[in-house]
Copies of this chain bind each other. A is one copy, B any other.
Amino acid sequence: MRHTHAPGTQRDTGRIEAFSDGVFAIAMTLLILEIRVPQPPSPSEPADLTRALLDLWPSYLAYVLSFVTIGIYWARHHDIFKLYTNTDHALNLLNLLFLMCICFLPFPTEVLARFMHDGANQKVAATFYVVSLVLPAATWTTAWLYASRGYRLIDRHLSREFVRRLTIQYLVTVALYAGAALVSLFSFRMGLAICIGLTLLYLLPPRKPVYVHEAQAA
């Protein structure tokens, strides 16, 4: 009687990608629930709906910023999973951790939208939002560092230069988000501006992967 360990539990990246895609799509769509229909101040006096809808501009801004941010993660998630030749238990868990941070975003988005008008709390709200943007960037970068270290799970034909550049890019992104969080403690407008700038930069086409002929040694 021969015992063999089947490759059955070796998870293919296809399923993780499909699952992550679903989470991205739902998180993006749930963002709209943070924009609440304006309530009349009292049943007797009629609300001025025009004014109320215009006053919701922080909600619209927060909606767009969070939607585009998650949308970019969606697109980049696909690109990076093309670099992985495989996945393992640790990468699956890191990906789950990353998705947990993505799914958290509707909450700080709503906090930002509600308190951007409130002089006493706008700084706190913006800082909370920016810190919430550090989290997915940090977990994303951790997953990349784990997978790319010694070509553990990435294609061995990727050029060392390309891998090094991507690593630097991700680390700089985390540093910039963390810096934006610090900055927003003093000037919440400046902190948010850095995040918007980063998002705009990431709208540019991603760096194309460069492959070399010989497999790289670990």
Instruction: Show the binding face of A for B, using Cβ within 8 Å.
Output: 1-6, 8-9, 11, 15, 18-19, 21-33, 35, 37, 46-50, 53, 63-64, 67-68, 71, 74-75, 78-79, 82-83, 89, 92-93, 96, 99-100, 103-107, 110-111, 114-115, 118, 120-121, 124-125, 128, 159, 203, 205-206, 208-214
Where chain A touches its partner, the secondary structure class is: helix
**Among B83, B110, B115, B120, contact of A8 (Cβ-Cβ < 8 Å):** B83
Cα A1 to Cα B92 with chains together (Å): 33
Residues of chain B within 8 A of A83, CB atoms compared: 8
- A21 and B24 contact, CB distance less than 8 A: no
Cα A47 to Cα B19 with chains together (Å): 39
Residues of chain B within 8 A of A18, CB atoms compared: 18, 21
Cα A18 to Cα B9 with chains together (Å): 17
- A103 and B67 contact, CB distance less than 8 A: yes
Cα A4 to Cα B159 with chains together (Å): 10
Cα A45 to Cα B114 with chains together (Å): 16
- A96 and B71 contact, CB distance less than 8 A: yes
10 A-B residue pairs with Cβ-Cβ distance under 8 Å, sorted by A, are A1-B214, A6-B208, A11-B78, A15-B78, A18-B21, A23-B28, A37-B114, A49-B111, A49-B120, A49-B128
Smallest CB separation, A189 vs chain B (Å): 17
- B159 and A74 contact, CB distance less than 8 A: no
Residues of chain B within 8 A of A214, CB atoms compared: 1
- B32 and A106 contact, CB distance less than 8 A: yes
Contact A19 to B19, CB < 8 A, known contacts A37-B114, A120-B46: no
**Among B3, B49, B68, B82, contact of A100 (Cβ-Cβ < 8 Å):** B68
